[in-house]
Each structure stands twice: as structure tokens, then as C-alpha cells.
Structure 1
Amino acid sequence: MKIRVGFGFDVHKLVTGRELWLGGIRLEHEMGLLGHSDADVLIHAICDALLGAANMRDIGYHFPDNSADFKNIDSKILLAKTVKLIAGKGYRVGNVDATVCAERPKLKKFIPEMQEVLARVMEVDVDDVSIKATTTEKLGFTGREEGISAYATVLIEKD
């Protein structure tokens, strides 16, 4: 069995007038993330990690932010397409370990639902999707609540 590891990172600005989508679920919040798609930073970081692990460049290469095809697209669709892309090279998702950095909203109670949604999209067990949430202790753009960032590490496998 061949295994590979990938790392992904994404950040989006918080703005009024947008819905907040994280980990494939909509959260009630007075601000949302700005982006061409639904701007789900967690899913975008996971996509980048998967693509990187398979040596397939990045999310912007496959789903460009200047394409009308991806305008306001649900990022779960991008994740499903990413899983199919890596499958085209014979890989499947082994596991995901991700961290979301946000001051608000507090994410702890939403993590189990995010894990279920992401596991379903990636066709893995819930136990194979680890999501952690942290703040930056009011430091930097995240601490000032100007944006949210996410990091993801993935393991992909090929028989």
C-alpha cells in the first residue's frame, strides 16, 4: 500500500451580508465569509490538502475563482469533485486532521455535525475526520474577527 500526506490552508474575510458556511454546514452568525464560492475555509483547506497529497496542484487550479461554473457553489460539491480527482490517480482518503481558527462563533458544539457531513462527502468513517477549533487569543486578523482560517492535513492511500 502506498500512502501520501498533504497539507492545506485557506483564509477568507468576514463580511456582512453573507451566510457563514464551515465544514459543510450553515452557522447562524452576523457575518459570513467572502469568496467566489460559499467560501467554506475548512472544506477549501481539505481540498488543497487532498490535491497536494496526490500532487495535483491546488483548489484554484481545478476550480478557478474567475469561472462562472463555481460562482456561489456549495463547497461540498468541490470536495466531492476533489475526492473523484484523486480517485482518478488511484487514491482514496485515509484520514483528515483539520483546525479552524475563529474567535466567533464558538464551534465546539458544531464539530460533530461537520464531521458527519464531511465523512459522508468523502465516503469515509466519521472517526477518520478530526476537526479542532481554536482562537488566536484576539491576535492578528482572526483575533480582530476580520476573517477565519483553516488548516488541514490528510493521508491518502493507494493499494
Structure 2
Amino acid sequence: MNKFRIGFGYDVHQLQEGYDFWLGGIKLDHSKGAVGHSDADVLIHVICDAVLGAANLRDIGYHFSDQDPQYKGIDSKILLRQVMKLLREKGYEIGNIDSTVCLQLPKVNPHIEAIKKCLAEVMEIDEDDISIKATTTEKLGFVGREEGVSAYCNALIYKK
């Protein structure tokens, strides 16, 4: 019998003009970008946290501290590759990823297939094992005021 585990991730980044906006490894055209120590890719960060949590490997901040200068401006795809390496070292594989991005603008839906393709390549899993959903907050809260972006993710992993 396979051993299954579930992990959950949540992340928020402030949006400001003058920054690139990265989401799921893809640079989106927008007047504002996410602010963070790395490239502030909120979707990759929640996937990392969900996978690490499922494998009982703590969280993204534990492995890639925002106080460490080597991670300043780093491409989050590099972090995700490292997380997948840690996961596989513990003998686990991804069952599936289910994520939701909360963002008023830009619209995420037109980019979902490209994001899934990018993430599947980085994680070395099937695109069909990655679900990405997007929602607005109907102009409510920091997301609705376009001050920030948030994301949630569940990850199912199993022992190989």
C-alpha cells in the first residue's frame, strides 16, 4: 500500500510598479510586479510550501531564508527544483498539485496552460497533475485594491 500525505501552502506578496510580475515561472505583462527577496513568484512559493509540508520538510523560508543574500532576486524555479530534489530524496513523488491564485489584474486564465507547462517541466511531472485556478476578490481587500497577490496550494504526495 502506498503512503499518501497532503500539504498546504499559502503566500502573499505586495504589488508595486517597477517590478516584474512572475507567476508560475512565467513573466506576465503588467504595470505592477510582486515584491520579495526572490523574484516573488507567489504561485511557485505556495507549491514549494505545500510539497515541503506534505513531506514534513518544514517550509520555504527554512530552506531558502530571505536573510540569505544568495537568494536575493533568485528565479523561484531554481527553488522549486531544489524542493523536488528534497522530496525525491525522502522517497516521495507528486500525486497532484491543486492551486488557486487570488489576483484582481492581470487576468491569469489566458496564461494557465503556459504556466502548467513550465511547472511540469521544472517539477518533472505530468501537466495533468497540476491544477491552477484563478479568482479575484470582487475588488475587496488588498487583492481587490490591486495592492497584492495571494495564492493557496494543496499537494498530494505518495511514497514510491
Amino acid at match of 1:120: E
Deviations 1:44-93 (A, max 9, x none): 00000000000111000000001111110000110000000111111111
Whole-Å separation in 1 of the counterparts to 2:70 and 2:86? 17
1:24 is matched with 25
RMSD: 0.6
2:117 is matched with 116
Structure 1 segments of 4 or more deviating over 3 A?
none
1:44 is matched with 45
Identity %: 62
Whole-Å separation in 2 of the counterparts to 1:125 and 1:85? 19
Whole-Å separation in 2 of the counterparts to 1:69 and 1:3? 34
What is the 5 A alignment of 1:71-86? 71-86=72-87
Whole-Å separation in 1 of the counterparts to 2:136 and 2:51? 25
Whole-Å separation in 2 of the counterparts to 1:94 and 1:18? 34
For structure 1, list consecutive stretches of 5 or more residues without a partner in the other structure.
none
Q: Is 2:55 aligned against 1:54?
A: yes
Amino acid at match of 2:131: S
Amino acid at match of 1:42: L
Relative to the length of structure 2, the TM-score reads 0.98
Q: Is 2:146 aligned against 1:139?
A: no
Deviations 1:94-113 (A, max 9, x none): 11000000000011110000
Deviations 1:90-141 (A, max 9, x none): 1111110000000000111100000000011111111000000000001110
Relative to the length of structure 1, the TM-score reads 0.99
For structure 2, list consecutive stretches of 5 or more residues without a partner in the other structure.
none
Whole-Å separation in 1 of the counterparts to 2:20 and 2:49? 22
Which secondary structure does the structure 2 equivalent of 1:13 belong to?
Answer: strand
How many residues are paired up? 159
